[in-house]
Amino acid sequence: MIAITGASGQLGRLVAEELKQRGHAEKISLGTRDPAKLQSLADAGFRVVAADFDRPETLASLFAGSEIALVICGNAPNDVRVRQHRAAIAAAKSVGVQRLVYTSFVNPHDDSLFSFAKVHAATERDMLSSGLSCTFLRSNQYFENLNAALKIALETGVLSMPGVSGKVAYLARSDIAAAAASVLTDRRHAEQAYELTGPEALDLFEVARCAAASWARGVSACDMPVDDYRKLLMARGLPAYAVEGQVGIRLAAAAGEQAKITDDAHRLVGKPLQTMDGYLGRIRSVGGDPRPT
C-alpha cells in the first residue's frame, strides 16, 4: 500500500491519476482535509482518508497499512511546515511505514535565497534522521509558476518579473507527478535523491521569445524591481510568507540556483518531457496565483 498526503492539491491529484492509469488505484490511500473533494477518486477504487497535518492522529490513520508514504510539502509559513512534516514523519514511523518519499526542491539548503528552501532542508534532515528509507524528489520550478505573469504578457506583450536573466530548468507539474508515480511503485528508487528538471534552462528573455512565436504576437521581457513585485503580490492578497517565497524564488533564479539540468526526470518518466514551447503552445489564456513550493 502507498499513502499520499495533500492528495486533493494540484500535484497530489495528478499523482493519483498517474497511479490510476498504471492500475494501482486499489493500493493507494489518499489523504485530504476534505474527502468530498476526492469522491471521484474514491469511486475509482482509491481509499480516501480525512487527514490533516495539524492532527497527527489522522495522519496515522492515513499511513496505517502502507509500506510507502508520499509526503507532499504543505502550504504554510516555514516554522509551521517544518512542524507539520515532523508530525507526518513521526506518524508514519509509528504505524510501520518503511519508506518516505518527499517533494523537495532544487538546492534545498539553508543559505538559498529561496526562503522555502529552509523547509526542504529541515525536512530532508528530519527524514534522514528518522531511520526510515527516504527518497527525495527535488523538483525545479513548474511551468505553471509563470502563469500569472504569462497572463499579463498575453494581454500586454510584456513578461515582467524580477530575475529576468536567471535561467531556470522549468518542467511540467504533470511530469513531476509521473516521476513520483514511478518512484512510488519501484523499490529500486529507495535511498535516492533525484534532481527533477526540464530538458532546457531558460531565462525570461527566452521564455518571451517562445511566447511570441507560440502566440504569434510581440512579447518582450523586462526586469521588475523587487519592491514592485512584492507590492503586486500583496495586492493579489497573498499572505506574507507566500509573498516572500515568490520573491525569493525569483532571486534564487537570478543567482543561478535553478539553472542545472539533469536527466533524472526524463529517466523516471520514461518518455520525452514537456517543453516550454509545447506548454506555451497549449495555452491562450492562463490565470491564478501559483505559489512556489
How does DSSP assign 23-60, residue by residue?
T-GGGEEEEES-GGGGHHHHHTT-EEEE-BTTBHHHHH
- Domain chopping of the chain, boundaries: 2-139+172-196+260-270
User: What is the mean pLDDT of the segment spanning 212-239?
Assistant: 95
Nearest to 102 by CA among 163, 11, 25: 11
pLDDT at 264: 97
Give yes or no for a contact between 108 and 117, defined as CB atoms under 8 angstroms apart: yes
pLDDT at 284: 64
pLDDT band at residue 190 under the 50/70/90 scheme = confident
Instruction: Examine the pLDDT at 267 and tell me if it is beyond 70.
Output: yes
pLDDT tens by residue, 98-152:
999 999 999 999 999 999 999 999 999 999 999 999 999 999 999 999 999 999 9
pTM: predicted TM-score of the whole model, two decimal places = 0.93
As a whole number, the mean pLDDT across the chain is 94
Q: Given its phi and psi angles, is residue 228 left (phi above 0), alpha (psi -120 to 50 degrees) or beta?
A: alpha
User: What is the mean pLDDT of the segment spanning 158-170?
Assistant: 97
Rounded Cα distance between 149 and 145, Å, is 9
User: What is the mean pLDDT of the segment spanning 240-249?
Assistant: 96
pLDDT at 203: 98
Strands 99-105 and 158-161: unpaired
Element at 11 (helix H, strand E): helix 10-21
Instruction: Examine the pLDDT at 285 and tell me if it is beyond 60.
Output: no
Instruction: Examine the pLDDT at 291 and tell me if it is beyond 60.
Output: no
Nearest to 138 by CA among 152, 153, 150, 121: 121
Q: What are phi and psi of 267, to 5 degrees?
A: -65, -40
Rounded Cα distance between 48 and 57, Å, is 15
CATH architecture assigned to 2-139+172-196+260-270 = 3-Layer(aba) Sandwich (3.40)
C-alpha angle 36/242/75, rounded to 5°?
35
